[in-house]
Amino acid sequence: MHQLDSARLSRKFFIRWAIGGPLGLLGASLLAACSNAPVTPTPNPTSAPVAQPTVASATPTTATTNVTAPQPTAASATTKATVGELTFMRPSSGPDEDKAYQAMLSGWTQHHPETKATFVSVPYADYETKLLTEIAGGVVRDVIGIQGYDVAVFATKKAIITLDPYVKASTDLNVDDFFPAHWHDGQFEGKQFTIPPDGSPLFIAYNTELFQKAGVKPPAADWTWADCLKVCQDLTQKTGNRVNQFGGSFSGNIFPWLFANDANVIDVATNKVTIDEKNAVEALQYLGDLVTKYHVNPTPQEQQEMGQNFFLTGKIGMVVANRGGLGTAYRDAKFKIDVVAIPRSPTTGHSGSQITALELAIETPNKHPDDAWLLLDYLVSPESELTRFTRYGGYPSRKSVAADPKFLASVAPSWVGTEVNQKILTIAGAVGTGFVPHHPNWSQISDTLNKHLDDLWNGKQSANAVTQAAAADISKLMG
């Protein structure tokens, strides 16, 4: 039997990221992609073409693995299941979010009247413990949710099966309909272990009223790092040495900026640390300067003093966010919110983003993997995704759903309009949109880097010094 221990799982495994939470590698400005406040359809949406993305800059290695899956039998190629009940377990914040996942299953019985599909809801804080306890006790769920950066842990421990045989045998999955970053996020060592039903890209959300009051033009789609600094300076207000209003807060998640600069923390394909390379240092120094040199972004202490949802105070012009956050924490903001892509790097000329997907996997040993595949296949189908995302928040993993007029019309009260969805659609499929590296020791790697980054955000060391020290420690964890 495979064994998993909590030390090998991400420390932030299924924690519901809070916008305005602690600064760090995976902290501030993120809400889990599964955030699901109800959304409001807007009449007569503007149609949008399906984005034609290129492969994300953070694609995984193509090496082989020893993890094997059972070959699909006739059951996986038919519409009939062979068992009376299948279970789908993932974390949830409570009854409101449960409705979103129940909505994903609402059409299941029409296709599979012979089998009942049950959603098992577990609070975020308890999910890791419950999952590990069940695994240790030999309890196997059919479909489970895991974060992309934990795929490597489950795969190396043989706790989930490879899906490649099922994907190959499927006549209706249509891999090309998934955004490239979303599809590749489910891979490890060249094999498909998971498929995401959701995952918003990260972008800049901004308070349109602060821009209007300051007489600052909204960011253009092709704005640059230099433009971003200028906007932050124009929005920042001070009384003496005290900042009363910050232009933005971006240092809570470094990946969009790294990806914009064709950089990363590690290179999984070569098992090499890359956080100390020129492009990574350049991106981090830019973020650090916004906090310390120019003081147009808050320090960790200042951000903590403003509280968890500091964007809602109206004292910060821009933050990094995802669509789930816009539909929950910022849903009822007293000001209108618009979005724009992360500014373009002067080195590469393109933007960057990180998807915030929750991946679906089939646990092993599973006595009926073919039936479990039928359930997973349905949960990532256009029908299931469209039902969920037109009723609740979050973001689909499929291009066809993201471009569907019904989805584009679904907006929260605080948004400027349906153009928010149009812009996110472009970002999701853009060059530079990637995901957190898949490495079995990612938990320790991220913790180590976070500790070193504190010295950058607090102005104690330069990005060059911080990354050199971090690289030395991370190299010991690469295995």
Domains along the chain with CATH numbers = 40-200+356-434 (3.40.190.10), 202-354+438-475 (3.40.190.10)
Tokens describing residue 133: 């306890």
Query: Would you state the pLDDT for residue 34?
Result: 42
Q: Are 464 and 281 in contact (CB under 8 A)?
A: yes
Choose among 87, 59, 464, 423: nearest CA to 279.
Answer: 464
Over its C-alpha atoms, the chain yields an Rg (Å, rounded) of 22
Q: Sorting pLDDT into bands at 50, 70 and 90, what band is 4?
A: low
pLDDT at residue 33 is higher than 80: no
Query: Would you state the pLDDT for residue 311?
Result: 94
Query: Would you state the pLDDT for residue 415?
Result: 96
pLDDT at residue 441 is higher than 50: yes
**Residue 457 CA to its chain's centroid (Å):** 23
Query: Would you state the pLDDT for residue 17?
Result: 28
Cβ neighbours, 10 Å, residue 114:
12
What percent of the chain has pLDDT above 90? 70
Q: Are 253 and 202 in contact (CB under 8 A)?
A: yes
Tokens describing residue 285: 């120094």
Query: Would you state the pLDDT for residue 37?
Result: 54
Q: Are 360 and 145 in contact (CB under 8 A)?
A: yes
CA distance 159 to 337: 42
Strands 272-273 and 353-356: unpaired
User: Mean pLDDT over residues 406-435, rounded?
Assistant: 96
Choose among 466, 428, 434: nearest CA to 256.
Answer: 434
pLDDT at residue 216 is higher than 70: yes
CA distance 333 to 312: 6
> What residues have CB less than 8 Å from 213, skipping those under 6 apart?
none
Query: Would you state the pLDDT for residue 345?
Result: 98
CA distance 81 to 76: 8
Q: Sorting pLDDT into bands at 50, 70 and 90, what band is 393?
A: confident
What SS3 string covers the chain? CCCCCCCCCCCCCCCCCCCCCCCCCECCCCCCCCCCCECEECCCCCCCCCCCCCCCCCCCCCCCCCCCCCCCCHHHHCCCCCCCEEEEEEEECCHHHHHHHHHHCCCHHHHCCCCEEEEEEEEHHHHHHHHHHHHHCCCCCCEEEEEHHHHHHHHHCCCECCCHHHHHHCCCCCHHHECHHHHHCCEECCEECCECCECEECEEEEEHHHHHHHCCCCCCCCCEHHHHHHHHHHHCEEECCEEEEEEEECCCECHHHHHHCCCCCEECCCCEECCCCHHHHHHHHHHHHHHCCCCCCCCHHHHHHHCCCHHHHCCEEEEEECHHHHHCCCCCCCCCEEEECCCECCCCCCCCEEEECEEEEEECCCCCHHHHHHHHHHHCCHHHHHHHHCCECCCECEHHHHCCHHHHCEECCCECCCHHHHHHHHHHCCCCEECCCCCCCHHHHHHHHHHHHHHHHCCCCCHHHHHHHHHHHHHCCCC
CA distance 393 to 384: 14
Q: Sorting pLDDT into bands at 50, 70 and 90, what band is 39?
A: low
CA distance 429 to 152: 24
User: Mean pLDDT over residues 444-464, rounded?
Assistant: 97
Rounded to 5 degrees, φ, ψ at 117 are -110, 125
Is the bond preceding residue 365 a cis peptide, omega within 30 degrees? yes
Choose among 102, 29, 36, 14: nearest CA to 359.
Answer: 14
Q: Give the pLDDT confidence of 64-122 residue by residue, as tens digits.
A: 333 333 343 333 334 678 889 999 999 998 888 899 899 999 999 999 999 999 999 99
pLDDT at residue 10 is higher than 70: no
CA angle 417–423–428, rounded 5-degree value = 135
Q: Give the pLDDT confidence of 248-299 residue by residue, as tens digits.
A: 999 889 999 999 999 999 999 999 999 999 999 999 999 999 999 999 999 9
Query: Would you state the pLDDT for residue 128?
Result: 87
Query: Would you state the pLDDT for residue 30?
Result: 33
pLDDT at residue 376 is higher than 60: yes
Query: Would you state the pLDDT for residue 386?
Result: 94
Choose among 397, 371, 387, 357: nearest CA to 141.
Answer: 371
pLDDT at residue 411 is higher than 70: yes
Query: Would you state the pLDDT for residue 2?
Result: 56
pLDDT at residue 42 is higher than 50: no
CA distance 23 to 379: 33
Across the chain, mean pLDDT equals: 85
